[in-house]
Amino acid sequence: MRIVNVQPPAWWWETPGESLARALDVPRINFGDLIRDHLRQGTELGLRADEIMEAGGAPLDELRTAIVRDHLRREAPAAFLLDHHPVNVVQALALDELLHELGTPLDGVVRLRLPEHELERHVRSVADRRVCRGIPTHGHEPAAGTPAAEGACDVCGAGLHQRRDDEESTVRARFGTHEARTAPVTRYYAERGLLVTVDAVGTPDEIAARALAALRRRGGRVG
Ligand SMILES: [Zn+2]
């Protein structure tokens, strides 16, 4: 089964995309990981991406598509969950064409939607989290309603700080642009009968279970 996952930005370590890939028992292809691999290995695609990002831009449709094509041609996965791509209709059309060439069309698209009240809670929880200055994967996310953690990492004792990406204004801006930016691509998939929309409320596992149930209700070859 081949699924595209469209989810709001700024999740915590474990995203619903990871849980959903596990529930579907398919590999998760995260566009962010693909581009980071190219940058790290200094491939031609990585160098092009680096040049654009150094200049403060985002990789263009054609470059993003080339990165996805490179991965799908090389790995030829029979099933996958694709995260953070496509983000617009041009990229979606190119992905359709590529998957058609490979004989592996999409089976469904999951759109995770944060309801208004949940969005506010989510912004607060992201803005309240802190990471360890020593080992950045030591995360500290206070329980709902309690203030941001102060002082030291309870794993290794190093100081805590707030990542710039987690500042409230940054988080709010990212959520705002996400909705506006992904509306056309989700409409495109809805018109093709591929889209299921699921409320992103609860733990990543609960959200994944809800998405799986919605995909099953939609029919097709899911599960
Ligand atoms: Zn630590």
In this prediction, residue 101 carries a pLDDT of 94
Structural domains of the chain in order of their starting residue, each with its CATH number: 2-27+77-218 (3.40.50.300)
* pLDDT exceeds 70 at position 120: yes
Q: What's the pLDDT band for 125 if we cut at 50, 70, 90?
A: confident
Q: How remote is the CA of residue 141 from the centroid of ligand 1, in Å?
A: 13
Q: How remote is the CA of residue 57 from the centroid of ligand 1, in Å?
A: 33
**Residues of the chain above pLDDT 90, percent:** 48
CA atoms within 13 A on the CB side of 26: 25
Tell me the pTM: 0.80
Q: How remote is the CA of residue 201 from the centroid of ligand 1, in Å?
A: 29
Q: How remote is the CA of residue 169 from the centroid of ligand 1, in Å?
A: 26
Q: How remote is the CA of residue 134 from the centroid of ligand 1, in Å?
A: 5
